[in-house]
A and B are shown apart, each in its own frame.
Chain A
Amino acid sequence: MKLSDLTSQAGEWLRGSGPMSEIVISSRIRLARNVAGFPFLTRCSKSARKSLEEKIRDTILDSKFSSSKTFYVDLETAPEIDRQLLVERHLISRPHKDAAGARGVAVGENETLAIMVNEEDHLRIQVLRSGLQLEEAWEQINAVDDQLESSLDFAFSPRFGYLTACPTNVGTGIRVSVMLHLPALKLTSEIEKVFRAAKELRLAVRGLYGEGTEATGDFYQISNQSTLGKSEEEIIGDFKHVVIPKIIDYEHHARRALLSEQPLALDNKVWRALGLLRSARLIETEETLTALSHVRLGVNLKRVKDLDINKVNELFLLTQEAHLQKILGKKLEGTARQAARAEFIRHRLSAN
């Protein structure tokens, strides 16, 4: 399995399957772990950093959860476009893409599993699944963590739990993030409700690519902030039983309100967006995401009937810069890239 094989598929996070997939795009859990006996990365010498990477990489590739489809990308030597591709597929973080020094990522289990090596912590294990699948994600990541732990000694203290470079991650080292598509709440100007619901449980709301990013394409990511003093199950439970059902309910309500009270305004948004995507000759990423968001809403509400939802889901990913350039097999900048994007979308949307 190679990195370039990925571009032809939608990637786990936008597969558009799984429970509640009309609203819940993906469920993600990550665990921060450090190997005992090695300093954290800010205090690691170049050579220690390298041997740490090799040790972790070999452990991952020798583990039971690895198969012939598991692959490891050395990010110190990987070209920019490959690293960007991994960011677009939510397999590595932006800081990991742009960092320096020995580091990498192992990707396996059909892209549901990604283990970043030498990010802020020695290991950042991630499980990403389509739709609302938090319990399944926890089961999967817990098993991977157990297997890694049978060969690696993780830094742990009875009082503080898993020890992490940043004290804001200490304890469970867990970050649970649920990505939601909330176009109706945005259209009805009720998105504040989401922030309030999240705030009640001290959860953070972020954009498409996590920390410090905008909520483009009406994608919102809800994540926990506190990691200490609660068990993993309790943290996941807050999402599964409290926050997420509430937000899903808000979005359903807003969708129903649009359908019953403003069907014409709704159709206008949806069909204009589709018209834009089918006609544009030059288009930027952000404009694409916004239009796709409205089209996705239209398809989910059956206002647009002749368009496959998977085709829309795929376009969210395939129109991003690295994917576009990989698919077309050439480097594209500025206007040329916008033109190529517009043409790619027109082609995809016409071939029914």
Chain B
Amino acid sequence: MKCEKCNRTATVHLTEIRAGKKIEKHLCEQCAGQIEGYPPKAHAPINELLTNFVLAHSGMAKDEEGTCPQCGLSWSDFRKTGLLGCEHDYAAFDKDLTPLLQRAHDGATHHLGKVPTRRGGTTVPVKRQLDLNRLRKELTRAVEAEDYEKAAKLRDQIREAESQV
């Protein structure tokens, strides 16, 4: 197949949906590179891919007015670098970050690993919160496996745990 714009072989095949219509494009690497949003390099290093990815998916935020009250970072600042400004940004941009985290981490939204023992004496509630995360994950698995008996038990445990947090 030849590129639509020049005579080179088309190696890039894009499908776009515009106003409900499917538009297919067949282009060579060079012509495709000129289209906005197409990654310019075929073998970009992983860090760059991640950053691009973060930037692409953070475009969902319509409201760019909000800034973190602690460090003053705005969502558009974040979009420029892919780096956050301080620990409070996770709470400040919770809504915008969640879909992005899900894509970067196989759909995960909650931490399930190590918990620091210090952190201002908040150990106990933190542990409980993590149990809750673990239960929620197990519930997803049980539902996926269609083990509804187990799922029902887990749901009850989650309710109980939620009332304690």
- Alpha-carbon separation in the docked complex, A149 to B31 (Å): 52
Other than the known A154-B119, A162-B111, A230-B112, what 12 A-B pairs have Cβ atoms closer than 8 Å? A39-B70, A42-B81, A43-B71, A153-B120, A156-B126, A159-B133, A163-B87, A167-B84, A170-B101, A206-B46, A226-B108, A228-B101
Interface residues on B, range: 35 or more
- Alpha-carbon separation in the docked complex, A156 to B101 (Å): 16
One digit per residue, 1 when the CB lies within 8 angstroms of any chain A CB and 0 when it does not, for chain B 88-127 equals 0011000001001100111111111111111110100110
Given A153-B120, A159-B129: A212 and B112 interface contact (C-beta under 8 Å): no
**Residues on B facing A (Cβ under 8 Å):** 45-48, 50, 54, 70-73, 81-87, 90-91, 97, 100-101, 104-120, 122, 125-126, 129-130, 133, 137
**For the complex, would chain B's binding face be called helix, strand, loop or mixed by DSSP majority?**
loop
Given A158-B126, A212-B45: A230 and B83 interface contact (C-beta under 8 Å): no
A-B contact count (CB 8 A): 145
Q: In the complex, which residues of chain A have a beta carbon less than 8 angstroms from the beta carbon of B111?
A: 157-162, 170-172, 228-229
- In the bound complex, do residue A229 and residue B108 qualify as a contact, i.e. CB atoms below 8 Å apart? yes
Q: In the complex, which residues of chain A have a beta carbon less than 8 angstroms from the beta carbon of B46?
A: 204, 206, 211-212, 225
Nearest to B119 among chain A residues (CB) is: A156
Q: In the complex, which residues of chain B have a beta carbon less than 8 angstroms from the beta carbon of A150?
A: 118
- Alpha-carbon separation in the docked complex, A56 to B38 (Å): 42
Q: 19 A-B pairs, CB-CB below 8 angstroms?
A: A39-B85, A40-B85, A42-B85, A43-B86, A120-B83, A156-B115, A156-B126, A157-B91, A163-B87, A165-B84, A166-B82, A166-B83, A168-B54, A174-B113, A226-B105, A228-B104, A228-B108, A229-B109, A229-B137
Is A231 among interface residues, defined by CB-CB distance under 8 A?
A: yes
**Closest Cβ of chain A: how far from B134's Cβ, in Å?**
9
**For the complex, would chain A's binding face be called helix, strand, loop or mixed by DSSP majority?**
loop
B83 touches which of A36, A42, A146, A159 (Cβ 8 Å): A42
